[in-house]
Amino acid sequence: MAYDLQLSHIGKVYDNGTPAVIDFNLDVDKGEFIAFLGPSGCGKTTTLRMIAGFESITSGDLLIRGRRVNDLQPEKRPTSMIFQNYALFPHLTVRQNVMFGLEVKGLPAAEANRKVDRILDKLGLSDVADIRPTRLSGGQRQRIALARSLVVEPDILLLDEPLGALDANLRKSIQNELKLLQRDLGITFVFVTHAQSEALALSDRIVVMNAGRVEQISPPRELYTRPQSIFVARFIGANTLISGSVRGTQGGHLAVETAFGTLLAEPSAGMPAAGAAASIVLPAEAMHVLPATMPEAEIRASHGANLVPCRITRLQLVGHILQIGMVLPNGEAVTLEGHADKYRDTLSAGSEAVVAWNPSDATLIVQ
Ligand SMILES: Nc1ncnc2c1ncn2[C@@H]1O[C@H](COP(=O)(O)OP(=O)(O)OP(=O)(O)O)[C@@H](O)[C@H]1O
């Protein structure tokens, strides 16, 4: 079966010589929700615009449902795009805005009206159909933009930071609606964002980009648990990086010589050579903080084989969450959050403690 969307060695160099996208490869199944995530200027929008047909492709092949579309006009592609500012026509009513794409396609009026009614109803816009969008809220305008893109029944919906203009609360509720709608319609979504939380909440897979290149393509959880590069480890989640050199295998894990002694970890990909310089990526969620008075053997048995001494510098209760500030032996300050119940009365500011974690919760990245 053909993929819904395929980018094969896609590259983009702008006329001024800027290489914006370099060797981008991605196969997308029908109905997948894909997010392009990365810092400003990493090439997310350029890639989205190449898929839409608004930007020419310098190299590589773009396929939609198995057909090469590199040179197809945007309106001939089975794609629809939503922009951050929604780009609604202020002088048209909500209904006219949504109708616009169908009129361009020359759909008979009766059929067009039926489709518009259905999508307005689905997105809860029937009551405001005859109002101009300028009089409506950000959330409603966002829905109109969605309705306008969906009414043309695209195979692939392209969304460029569509929630960027909304305040935090509204953003959350629209995120949920968007995810439900996407599941319901079964349409492939490609979503550009620089907000990690948004990508993590919505997507089936996330493409992390950095300086025009794809760093990693993974389901959200895997980006956390198995980052494949230092960039991803620093960009996603709250990770502590411990550098060292690979010594070999030990008990099914990789043993790494570090400033804190020998620590064990899982490789991110393949088996690195002994002696290779590497970093252990330790997610905050994987760390357990225990009083230094607890016997080492007991800690290893209950909380994992890796131990590093630390000193607690700060404890702060925020609702049911305890924020723990600590310093590692090399002077590095680390903050992590844990359930207050888990740490009740076991830690105190200024005291010596131990950080413990399970080797399989930490990833080794070779540099
Ligand atoms: N029309 C253009 N002409 C020349 N260079 C461009 C053009 N558009 C974008 N660029 C450059 O291409 C690179 C990628 O830009 P792009 O807008 O795709 O990044 P982005 O990840 O979407 O960033 P943002 O999150 O800020 O929108 C940047 O270096 C940018 O300056």
pLDDT per position as a tens digit, 309-346: 999 999 999 998 899 999 998 888 888 888 888 887 88
- Give the pLDDT confidence of 45-54 residue by residue, as tens digits: 999 999 999 9
Distance 363 CA to ligand 1 centre (A): 32
Q: What is the ipTM of this complex?
A: 0.97
Evaluate: CB of 194 within 6 angstroms of ligand 1.
yes
- Res 33: pLDDT: 96
Q: Is the pLDDT of residue 231 over 90?
A: yes
> Is 361:312 a contact under the CB 8 Å cutoff?
no
Convert the pLDDT of each residue in 103-134 to its tens digit: 887 888 899 999 999 999 988 899 999 999 88
Please state, in angstroms and rounded to a whole number, the distance separating the CA atoms of residues 155 and 136. 29
Domain ranges for the chain = 5-225, 238-366
Alpha carbon of 85 to ligand 1 centroid (Å): 17
Residue with CA at minimum distance from ligand 1 atom 17: 45
Average pLDDT over residues 48-75: 96
Tokens of 75: 């309106």
pLDDT higher than threshold 90 for residue 72: yes
The answer to whether 303 and 356 are in contact (CB under 8 A) is: yes
Task: Return the closest-CA partner of residue 236 out of 263, 218, 213.
Answer: 218
Measuring from atom 13 of ligand 1, which residue has the nearest CA?
Answer: 20
The long-range contacts involving 25-30, CB below 8 angstroms and separated by at least 24 positions, are 25/214, 26/207, 26/214, 26/217, 27/3, 28/3, 28/4, 28/188, 28/190, 29/3, 29/4, 29/188, 30/3, 30/4, 30/155, 30/186, 30/188
pLDDT at position 1 is 63
Ligand 1 binding pocket includes 40 (Cβ within 6 Å): yes
Binding site membership of 55 for ligand 1 (Cβ less than 6 Å): no
Q: pLDDT digit string (tens) for 280-298?
A: 999 888 999 999 999 999 9
Nearest CA to ligand 1 atom 30: 41
Please tell me the pTM assigned to this model. 0.88
Q: Name the amino acid, one letter, at 297.
A: A
Residue nearest to atom 6 of ligand 1 (CA): 14
| CATH of region 238-366, choose from 2.40.10.10, 3.40.50.2300, 2.40.50.100, 3.30.420.40 | 2.40.50.100
Q: Rounded to an integer, what distance in angstroms lies between the CA atom of residue 181 and that of residue 198?
A: 16
Tokens of 193: 């964002």
Task: State if residue 193 touches ligand 1 by the CB under 6 angstroms criterion.
Answer: no
CATH topology match: 5-225 vs 238-366? no
Q: Is the CB of 137 under 6 A from ligand 1?
A: no
In 10 A of CB 23, how many CB atoms? Answer: 14
Q: State the distance from the centre of ligand 1 to the C-alpha of 29, rounded, in angstroms.
A: 27
- CATH (residue range 5-225): 3.40.50.300
Any atom of ligand 1 within 6 Å of the Cβ of 46: yes
303 versus 10: the higher-pLDDT residue is 10
Q: What is the mean pLDDT of the chain?
A: 90
In the reported structure, the alpha carbon of residue 196 is separated from the centroid of ligand 1 by a whole-number distance in angstroms of: 19
DSSP H helices, the chain, are 44-52, 94-105, 109-122, 138-150, 168-185, 196-202, 220-225, 230-235, 296-303, 340-343
Q: Which of 10, 21, 44 gets mutated to test ligand 1 (max ligand atoms within 8 A of its CB)?
A: 44
